[in-house]
Chains A and B, each alone.
Chain A
Amino acid sequence: MSDIKKFMYLNRRAPYGTIYAWESLEVVLIGAAFDQEVSLMFTDDGVYQLIKGSDTSESDMKNFMPTYRTLGDYGCRHMYVDKASLEARGLTQDDLIEVAWEDFETEEEVDNIVEVVDAEQVATLLAESEVVFSF
C-alpha cells in the first residue's frame, strides 16, 4: 500500500491532571485500525505517562497507565522518550515501562520499543514524520 503515512503522536502532558494523555491514547488505539506507520514521542511532562507502578486504588480515577503496554499489539512501532525531559525530572529509562512488539505474521519480535533519544533525534524524528498529532 502506497498510502501508508508516517504518523507521530507528540505527548507533552502528565497523565491525570488534564485529559490530553487519555485522549491521545484513545486516538492511538482507535487509529490502529487504519494501518499507518505509528510512532509516539514523549517529551516534557509527557514522559510521566510511561512511569511504571501507578496505583489509582485510592483515587477516583481509572488507571490507564497499564494500557500503554499493549500499544505494540496495536501496531505502534516506536515509543520515543526525550532524554533531557527525563533528566529534568530525576528519571531514567529504568523508571519506564517496557512495551513489547511482535509481527504476528513474520514472528519478528522486539522486546521493548521504548527508546530514550536526545534532542537532535527528537527533532529529526518529528521532521521525518508526515503527520504530527499534538497532545
Chain B
Amino acid sequence: MDITRPIHIDYAQAVPATYYIDPDACLFLKHETCQICVPVCQSKAIDFSQKAEEKIYNVGAVIVSPGFGKISEEVLKQYGYGQHPDVVTSIEFERMTNASGPFQGELKCFNDGRHPKNLAFIQCVGSRDIGCDNGYCSGVCCMYAIKEAIVAKEHDPECEITIFYMDIRTQGKDFDQAKIKAENMGIKFVRAKVADVMNWGKQIKLTYSTMDGTHSFEPFDMVVLAVGLESPKDAKTIADIAGFELNQYDFCRTEEFDPLQTSKEGVFVVGAFQGPKDIPESVTQSSAAASLVSSLMKSKRGEGVILKEYPTEIPVGDDDEVRIGVFVCHCGINISSVVDVASVAKEAGKLGNVVYATESLYSCSQDAQEVLKERIKEHRLNRIVMTACSPRTHEPLFQETLKDAGLNRSLFEMVNIRDHCSWVHAQEPEAATAKSIDLVRMGVAKSRHNKPLLEQTVPVTKTALVLGGGLAGMTTALSIADQGYPVHLIERGATLGGNLANIKTTLRGESPAKLLKTLTAQIKKQKLVSVYLNSELETVSGFVGNFTSVIASGKTKKKKEVTIDHGVIVLATGGKEHRTKKFKLGTVKKVITQLELEAKLAGTGKNRAPDSVVMIQCAGSRGADLGYCSKVCCNQAVKNALKIKEINPESQVIVLYRDIRTYGFAEDQYKEAREKGVIFVPYKFAKKPKVLSGKTDVVEYFDPILQEQVTINPKLIVLSVGIVPEGTETLSKLLKAPVTADEFFLEAHVKLRPVELAVEGVYVCGLAHGPKPIDETIVQAQAAAAKASMPLVKGSAKVAPTVSVIDKETCIGCGICVSMCPYNAIKMLKIDKKRKAETVPASCKGCGICASRCPTFAIDMGGFTQDQVMAQIKAFGNIEEVV
C-alpha cells in the first residue's frame, strides 16, 4: 500500500525491531551491483559474504506454530480485488486505520484520496466456501470486521457502514457485546451473500439478494473483504519434515481430546495451524503446550538456565550526600509537542541536591537504559527522578536499570508529565509546562527522602489447590501433578466428572465417557493428586505462594474440616445448563433441553428419534435471560440433529436459529446436516418463535422465505438453553477475585493473560471462565496448569518493599492498626510483657491505612513515608528543603 525501501523494518512493533534486506529488491542480491549500504552502515552490520548455515540441535520436544496463510488472489479476484483500487482486504484495511499505516490512520480511498462515505464489509471471503476448497469457518473474521467497522465509524461518524454476512459468529467471551455496540453506533448488518462486485465509476456496486427474495444493487465508496485464515503456505513441507499428518484443509490434524498433540509423538502444535483461532485462544494454547512439554522434560528442569546477575548494591546511607539525577523525557513528541521539556529540565537542574538534569528523546528505549547507567556512574547519582510517563507501566523497567547500575530500586521516583499533563492539557502548553515544573519539584522533594528498601523473598508452598473435579479440574490437576507437584482436588459432588458425564458423544463422534474413564483412572494412579469428594472451600487466607484454606467435607451433621497449605489456586468450578422459564420448559412435557435429548438419543427407547422435531436455538440466551452466547449450543444442536437423522432418516428436523455458530471445522457437520435434510430457519430476536398451548402444544415461528407465520405441531420441542456459571459469586468474595457482568471469572487480561486472575496466584479454566467446548476446555486447563506451576517451580515469591514498618519503641500496643488492616497483615506480639504490633510483610498490600490511623505515628509506609509525602506537600507550596 505504501513504498517500502529494500532495507526496512516491517512495522513499528516488529520483533525483533531490526532492519533486514529484502532479497527480492536488493540490487546486490539480484544483480551483484550497488553495495552502497555496506560502507554507509556505521556499525558495520552488513556482511554480504555470510552464508546460510545448517545447525543440529538435540531437543526433547518440538512445538510447531507457523500461523496461518493468505487467501489466494484467485479467490479475491471473484470479489473485484485488483480490478478496483478501493476493494481492499481486511488486513489492508487494518493497516489503513492504523496511525503508523500509509495514511497515518486517515481513512482515504485509493482512487482519489477522498474520504469514503459508505463502506461495505463482505464476510466469509475464502471461508465457508467449498468453491475454493475452504469448507471451514475461520472463526475470527466476524469479530475483526466488527472491530474494524467500529474503528472506521470512530474515524468518521458520518460514514455509512454495511456488513454483509451469512451468520454473525461472535461466539467468544463477551464478543456479542461488540456486535451490540456496533449496531448502536449505526453499523448495518445485512444477511446476504454478495453475488457480484462491479466497478461503478469511482464507486463499486454490489449485487445481493436477501432472504425475502429481494434483489438489491448498492454502490459503495470502498469494499472491505473479510478474508479468512488459510492454512500456512508451507504446511505440507513442515508436516513432511516433522512427520505428522494434516487434515483435509491442510491444517495440522489433532485429536479432539488431545488437541495439541500432533500425530507424531513429542511434536506439538499451537495457534492457527491447529485450526483457525483468535488471539486469546492462541495465547492459551501456547501456555498449554508449555505445560505439556515441561512435564515431558521435567527431569531436565533448570538445566541450561542462566540466572541474571546484578552487581553488588552500592550502599546508600542516611549520612551520604543526596545526589539526584533528573531525566526529562520527550516521549517522541508525546510530551515535547506540548510541554517545553528543555525548560523543565533547566528548572529541575536548579533544585537543591540535583547534580544532574537532562532531556532524552525516548527514556524507555534500550539505548537510553545504557545512558542512564553511565550517568549514574559518572555523576555518582544515588536518587533518580524520571520525568516521563506512568509508574504503573514503566516503573519496573527503570527499576531494573537501577538494579543493573547497582542502585536499590527504591531510590527511583517517577513523575508523570505525559498521561497527567501533556496529553490532557494539549491546548495549554504554558500551563502544562508550569504544571510539569511543579510536579518535578514535588518529585525531587520526595526523592530526597527515598531510602533503599529491602526486597523480601518468601518461600512458596509447592502444592496446588484445584477447585472443581470436572473435565477442567481433572485435566489441570493431572497436568500440575505431571510437573511433579502435589495437588488437592476439591469436588462438591459425590463423583468426579461434572458435565462430562452428561455428554454422550461429541460432534466429531468421540466418546466423552471414555475420556472420563481414562482421566479417573489416571487420577487414581497419580499419587500426587488427593481427591476430596462432597467437599467445598470454606475459607481461604494468605497470598501467592502461601495460601491456607479450610475444606469442609461431608454433610452438615458429619461435616469434617481440613486445613490445607498451598501455593496456588486453580478455579475450575464449572457451569450448568440454564433452566429457562421461557418456551414452557418444565410445564409442557414435550419441551426438553438439548442435554435431555442427548440422553434420550443415547438410550434405547423406541421413540427416541420421533418423526418431527423442532429445535429452538438461543432459548433464553443472547439478550433474553442471559446476555451472552454460550458457544457450544449450535454444535450440540447440529450433533443431535445428525443423530436423529441417523436413527430415523425420515424424521423432519427444523432448527430455528439466530446465527448458526459452527465455527472452525464444525462447519463441515453443519453442511452435512443440511445435506441430510435438516432444515435451518433463521429468526430475529424481535420475532422469536413461540410455544403455544391449546389442544396440542405447537411452535409458531416466522418463516423468512414464505414471509408469514407458520405453526407446526412437532413430537418434540428441543431448547438450546445455554450455560450459567456455578458458585462464582461466593468464590469471588472469598478470593476477592473479580467476575464479569455475567458472573464468569474475569481474567487478568483477555488477550495476554487469559487464564490468570487479577489476584496473584489464582488461575481459572473451564466453564467458570466462560462457555466452551471440550477441546478448548482441555487446552485451557493445561494452560492454567502451566501458569499455576510457575510459582511452584520458582519456589519463592518476591514481596514488594512498599509495606508498613512499625517502630516498636513508639508503638503503645493499642491495636487500632490490627483492627483497621483489611488484609490481616498486622499481628500483636508480647515483647518484654508489652504489647507491640508487627507487620507481616508478605500479607501487607501497602495501603497505609494503619499509618494514617496510628495515634503515636509509630507506623510508616515504605516508599510513601510521612517525610516523603510531607516533602511533596511542602514542595507543592513551593518550599524547598535541601537535605
Q: Do A and B bind each other?
A: no
Name A residues whose Cβ lies closer than 8 Å to a Cβ of B: none
